[in-house]
Amino acid sequence: MKKKSFLLIIIAVFWVSYIVLSFAQTLYTTSDRKDENDLNHLQQVEHLLSVAQTLVMTGNIEALKDHLDGAVKIDLINYYCIQDKEKTLFQYSPSEASGCEKTHDRRIASYGAPLKYKDQIVKPIKIGDNVVSVGFSTDFWTYFWKSQKNNLFTFIKDVVIITTFLGLLVYLVMKDFLLLDRMLQKGAKGGDFSKIKARSKEAQTFIDSTYTLNEMNSAKSSMIHHLQNTVGLAIHSEIDKGTPHLTQIPSAVVRIDLNGYTQIFLEKKEEHIVTVLNEYFSVTNDLIKRFEGEI
């Protein structure tokens, strides 16, 4: 598995965390603003319907249609329906659904009260035999993207600036370690790590420790090589010639099987195991001395 740069990992983790936290904060803020926006929007719709009421009472239905079309263009409303008794005079909907669809809702007990649905609010009013209903979308994501469209460039600019600043800051802090990493990978010039100088105390300590360890490994390798080419060859030659040993050390090995007594010890009967071990050691001592060995 290929190892990743610690600098890149820090920047990536910060960047992802910043994006996630910023997005969560934006969602929370937008949710609060949306409730207030829906309330203000409903107040504007009520003003629109007060004008509509005047136009209906004066018989200016065509003027009312033009008035509602203008409200659609400025995104004040998304639906409207003008009915005369059961006959639909004019209606508008951005989708294939009829703009008068919600006027048949059984919840209409008294005209003038807004009907709140999952993604829209519809408010119908009745003027004589005429029913005028208008509605607007309350879909969260539609409002979210519309409200954040103007802030997108600012958000991207902030991400770039903060990421660049973080990368520069981390680079300055870890510059010595990055330098050491490159030197260790490529090897110091002439193999002398003592020539590497760091600006930070921590990095310099690490470099000095690496230099000391490198010197110890070099000395150990040199000693092993020397022994292989001197003592090793001499011993191998003596073995081949069958040269008698210069010194013989008498010794004896005694094996004591304590499996059963270990079980006794585990059962917390120390007085038994201590007595038995003392007897074993006494006999063992006599055997070793008899064969001229040593404990």
Tens of pLDDT, residues 144-159:
888 777 777 887 888 7
Residues 6+ apart with CB under 8 A from 294: 251, 288
pLDDT tier at 20, thresholds 50, 70, 90: confident
Please check the confidence at residue 209 and state whether its pLDDT lies above 80: no
How far lies 278's CA from each of 126, 262, 272, 273, 275, in Å? 111, 14, 10, 9, 5
90-117 average pLDDT score: 72
Buried b (16+ CB within 10 A) or exposed e, 5-15: eebeebbeeee
How far lies 49's CA from each of 92, 130, 134, 160, 167, in Å? 16, 13, 8, 47, 56
Cα-Cα-Cα-Cα dihedral of 5, 8, 13, 17, to 10°? 180
Give this prediction's pTM. 0.48
Please check the confidence at residue 88 and state whether its pLDDT lies above 70: yes
Residues 6+ apart with CB under 8 A from 189: 195
Residue 4's H or E segment, with its range, is none
Instruction: Count Cβ atoms within 10 A of the Cβ of residue 256 and give its class: 0-12 exposed, 13-18 middle, 19 or more buried.
Output: exposed
**What is the average pLDDT score of the chain?**
75
232-251 average pLDDT score: 67
Q: How many residues are given for the chain?
A: 295
Multiple choice CATH, 6-148, 3.20.20.10, 3.30.420.480, 3.40.1840.10, 3.40.50.11900 = 3.40.1840.10
Q: Where are the domains of the chain?
A: 6-148, 152-229, 249-295
